[in-house]
Amino acid sequence: MYKEIVRESSMTSNKLKQLLRPVLYPFWIWFFPIFLILFFLTGLPVMAVDCGNTLDRNIELEELKGGWLFQKGDNILWKENYFNDTSWQRKNLPENGKDKSVKSYGFYWVRCHLYLPSGGLRESSLAIHLGKIRDADEVYLNGNLIGSHGKLNPLVSDIEAYRIYSLPSHFLLEGENVLAVRIFSSTPYYGLMHVPQIGRERKIMESVARSEAFMVVSGAVFILMGLFFIMGSVVKSKNQSNLYFSLFSIFLGMYTLLRTNFRYVIFDNFALSYQVELVILCFLPLIFINFFNEFINIKRSRIYHYAYDMLILVFALYIILFGKTPEKWLRIIDTNILLLLLPLTYISYLMKKLHRAYRKRLKHVFIGMIGLFPCIVIDSIRALDIFPLPPTLHFGFMFFLINISIELSEEMVENYKNYIKQESELMKMERVKTKFLYNISTEFKSYLDRAQTLVRELKEEIPTEKTLQDKLLILESLSGLSKTMIDDAIILNSLESEEFEIYTERFFFKDLLLEVIMMIEIRHRQDRLTTNFSISGKDLEIQHNKELIFLVFYHILENIFVYTPEDSAVNLSFEEKEGRLIVRLEDNGPGIPFEEQKDIFKKFVRGSKALSSEVHGVGIGLTLVQTICNSVDGSIQLQSTPGSGTVVTVSLPVFF
């Protein structure tokens, strides 16, 4: 059944891929660059206002790019609205790249003069969004502190938080207002990294949320994708490409989330979060190289890989021990970009060398890298503040991981097919176990037959003594139980191998039930038939193999006798219905735990109560019952509620 399901699903999947291949592959190739172009176009500002102008009374969200006043140094009086800043340098924000005109760096201020219209603004909840700033800042409105990030003295850097500051209405003046931003930069890079925005606070919050929404979703998708492919690494134990891919995807997801304000949900300390981000970033190429080697199944070059592994480990250790200041962070980023050239060169070399031999296997990797490479370049330019660009790496990696996951998913389907084959082999091994049990049982059967003969001779020759008789009865009972278990194993093996010849005879069903009950009562020293055992049903003659039908009800009733208290009521009813014998056995015993019911008919399975008691058996009684029912066109159903008893229903043809 499993084989047919897998074969049908595989055929459907192949047909679907053949139909969609002419559409999907050109779509993926052309969609990505078109998407990037649209992404950049939609990111352009719609409205802008320069410092020194009057704000619109119905302002929603506008950029403050021009007219800012800039001055190096630090003077607390520069926060005041009455300070004369006419000699300050006028700039547009942001200015990306290193400040080459000023050798020293440290404190500097930027100021913006804004004018409110007469009558004020229609919207009172106004805010300023300064984007991200290196390294720490304080913001003043008309000389009043309205917020800060990081600390200026001593320096505590926070370069990733979005600076969104409410402009309290009681600080706003009709006419001229002055925004003063005090910044400390510990590196030669300019502190303001985004175009400032002013507008309704809710609009600013929505804008920031939209800008990070896809990154947060991408990070979560990467992590979930990695967790999914961990299952593939369990099934595919020899080749660890799924494991390395899942690690790469999880690390990439963590890195993507840390590139958003989600980092402040995980960490309270920005410096620690940035160290973790840099460590993850330096390990990503190493994990990917290991994935790539496993994916194309080639041996690692010991000299290159061990040297590169040690280099990355030393670099990560350096980040952990010393990467705690902005100066070190910039040095680490520059070094990491240089180190990235090593895996890129190595992978490019391998793809050029092996693309013909592994053309089909590398197809998805190659397509993914076409989309990923420009995003790496864009993100590197953005990290170095060479030019203001939006983050695109998560788009590239989403495209890249989807392409690789297509290939790995196809492999997982193939591995699942192999798993089904292994399951089939395990079923054959189960039959081998039964054969093994049969061989042992044959040996013991001859011994038990002799033991029973000896017991009979002792009973006839030795004078009657109560103590001796009791011991002999116990020995005979144990011998009978042992012989029954062995006979069961022999019959089970014969039925499974279809070697059992089923001879039928006519007999009355109720007489057979009484034989079964009497044998069980003798062997287990119980007397239920005359106390709390009821049999109802009109007796009828059936045609079956009497031995097999005897075993069916012997094992069902023996389980009832053994696993329920002696004072438990047992009700057995039977009737003929549409040519079938329907037998219902019900007890009010402790029932069977739900988690054990699904395996109750499996071979060698015994319940927890059997394992914790001295009840003898090998766990094949109910397996034999089900096997016999299947062999004679019958069925058995079990319903049990813990604490409320068990109901077993057996259906057999009246004439077989």
Dig out the tokens for 256 from the structure.
């993507």
Stretch 513-540: mean pLDDT: 81
Q: What is the pLDDT of residue 19?
A: 40
Dig out the tokens for 14 from the structure.
């192949």
pLDDT at 316 over 70: yes
Stretch 58-70: mean pLDDT: 89
Q: What is the pLDDT of residue 471?
A: 57
pLDDT at 523 over 50: yes
Dihedral class, residue 639 (left if φ above 0, else alpha if ψ from -120 to 50, else beta): beta
Question: C-alpha dihedral over 458, 461, 465, 468, to 10 degrees?
Answer: -10
The listed CATH number (3.10.129.10, 3.30.565.10, 1.10.1040.10, 3.30.1490.20) that belongs to domain 501-653: 3.30.565.10
Stretch 156-172: mean pLDDT: 90
Taking CB atoms within 8 Å and a gap of at least 24, the contacts of 59-63 are: 59/121, 59/123, 59/126, 59/198, 59/199, 59/200, 60/199, 60/200, 60/203, 61/197, 61/198, 61/199, 61/200, 61/203, 61/204, 61/207, 62/197, 62/198, 62/199, 63/195, 63/196, 63/197
**Do 343 and 289 meet the contact criterion of CB atoms below 8 Å apart?**
yes
- Write out pLDDT tens, residues 187-228: 776 678 788 999 888 889 988 888 888 888 888 888 988 888
pLDDT at 336 over 90: no
Q: Which residue has the tokens 């206002």?
A: 49
pLDDT at 34 over 60: no
The CA-CA-CA angle for residues 168, 172, 175, to 5°, reads 160
Q: Which residue has the tokens 């998708």?
A: 221
Confidence of residue 39 (pLDDT cuts 50, 70, 90): very low
Q: What is the pLDDT of residue 234?
A: 63
Helices vs. strands in the chain: H and E counts, helices first:
15, 19
Task: Give the Cα separation of 556 and 376 in Å (integer).
Answer: 69
- DSSP states of 477-501 as a string? HHHHHHHHHHHHHHHHHHHHTT---
Q: What is the pLDDT of residue 25?
A: 44
pLDDT at 655 over 90: no
Stretch 90-115: mean pLDDT: 73
- DSSP states of 165-204 as a string? EEE-TTT--SEEEEEEEEEE-SSSB-SB-S--EEEEHHHH
**Do 371 and 400 meet the contact criterion of CB atoms below 8 Å apart?**
yes
Confidence of residue 17 (pLDDT cuts 50, 70, 90): very low
Q: By mean pLDDT, which of 94-103, 250-259, 263-272, 442-451 is the weakest?
A: 94-103
Confidence of residue 387 (pLDDT cuts 50, 70, 90): low
Confidence of residue 534 (pLDDT cuts 50, 70, 90): confident
Q: Which of 583, 566, 587 is nearest to 575 (CA)?
A: 583
Dig out the tokens for 633 from the structure.
């066109």
Q: By mean pLDDT, which of 4-18, 491-505, 589-603, 635-649 is the weakest?
A: 4-18
Q: What is the pLDDT of residue 566?
A: 80
Stretch 419-437: mean pLDDT: 68
pLDDT at 401 over 90: no
Other Cβ atoms closer than 10 A to 578: 6
| Residue scoring higher pLDDT (242 or 312) | 312
Q: Which residues face 98 on adjacent strands?
A: 189
pLDDT at 382 over 50: yes
Q: What is the pLDDT of residue 493?
A: 81
Q: What is the pLDDT of residue 43?
A: 47
pLDDT at 77 over 60: yes
Task: Give the Cα separation of 477 and 486 in Å (integer).
Answer: 14
Task: Give the Cα separation of 567 and 175 in Å (integer).
Answer: 97
Q: What is the pLDDT of residue 112?
A: 95
Q: What is the pLDDT of residue 8?
A: 43
Ramachandran angles phi, psi of 385, nearest 5°: 55, 35
Q: What is the pLDDT of residue 461?
A: 64
Q: What is the pLDDT of residue 233?
A: 64
CATH superfamily of 61-195: Galactose-binding domain-like (2.60.120.260)
pLDDT at 442 over 50: yes
Q: What is the pLDDT of residue 458?
A: 63
Q: Which of 195, 190, 212 is nearest to 385 (CA)?
A: 190
Q: What is the pLDDT of residue 609?
A: 58
- Residue 608, helix vs strand vs coil: helix
Sign of the torsion angle spanned by Cα atoms 415, 420, 426, 428: negative
pLDDT at 104 over 50: no
Stretch 435-441: mean pLDDT: 58
pLDDT at 31 over 60: no
Question: C-alpha dihedral over 96, 97, 103, 106, to 10 degrees?
Answer: 50
Q: Which residues face 536 on adjacent strands?
A: 573
Please, what is the end-to-end C-alpha distance for the chain in angstroms? Answer: 28
Q: Which of 593, 553, 585 is nearest to 569 (CA)?
A: 585
Q: By mean pLDDT, which of 144-158, 324-338, 414-428, 435-449 is the weakest?
A: 435-449
pLDDT at 447 over 80: no
Stretch 173-189: mean pLDDT: 88
Q: Which of 203, 289, 290, 200 is nearest to 239 (CA)?
A: 290
Q: What is the pLDDT of residue 652?
A: 92
Task: Give the Cα separation of 339 and 310 in Å (integer).
Answer: 13
**Do 366 and 351 meet the contact criterion of CB atoms below 8 Å apart?**
yes
Q: Would strands 541-544 and 107-116 be described as parallel, antiparallel, or unpaired?
A: unpaired
**How far, in whole angstroms, is CA 475 from its chain's centroid?**
57
Q: State the amino acid at position 455 in one-letter form.
A: V
| Burial of residue 220 (number of CB atoms within 10 Å: 0-12, 13-18, 19+) | middle
Other Cβ atoms closer than 10 A to 39: 13
Q: Which residue has the tokens 């023996």?
A: 558
Radius of gyration of the CA atoms of the chain, in A: 41
Stretch 395-420: mean pLDDT: 72
Mean pLDDT for all residues in the chain: 78
Q: Would strands 155-156 and 151-152 be described as parallel, antiparallel, or unpaired?
A: antiparallel
Q: Which residue has the tokens 């607390």?
A: 76
Other Cβ atoms closer than 10 A to 269: 10
- Give the contacts of 533 (CB within 8 A, at least 6 positions apart): 517, 569, 570, 572
Confidence of residue 373 (pLDDT cuts 50, 70, 90): confident
- Give the contacts of 122 (CB within 8 A, at least 6 positions apart): 57, 58
pTM, two decimal places: 0.56
Positions of E strands within 366-436? none
Q: Would strands 107-116 and 175-184 be described as parallel, antiparallel, or unpaired?
A: antiparallel
Stretch 409-430: mean pLDDT: 70
Q: What is the pLDDT of residue 593?
A: 84
Dig out the tokens for 142 from the structure.
């008309």
Task: Give the Cα separation of 421 and 403 in Å (integer).
Answer: 28
Other Cβ atoms closer than 10 A to 108: 21
Strand order in the sheet with 68-72: 89-91, 68-72, 107-116, 175-184, 136-141, 144-149
- Give the contacts of 113 (CB within 8 A, at least 6 positions apart): 51, 52, 67, 69, 176, 177, 178
pLDDT at 611 over 50: no
pLDDT at 326 over 70: yes
| Burial of residue 548 (number of CB atoms within 10 Å: 0-12, 13-18, 19+) | buried
The domain limits of the chain are: 61-195, 212-419, 501-653
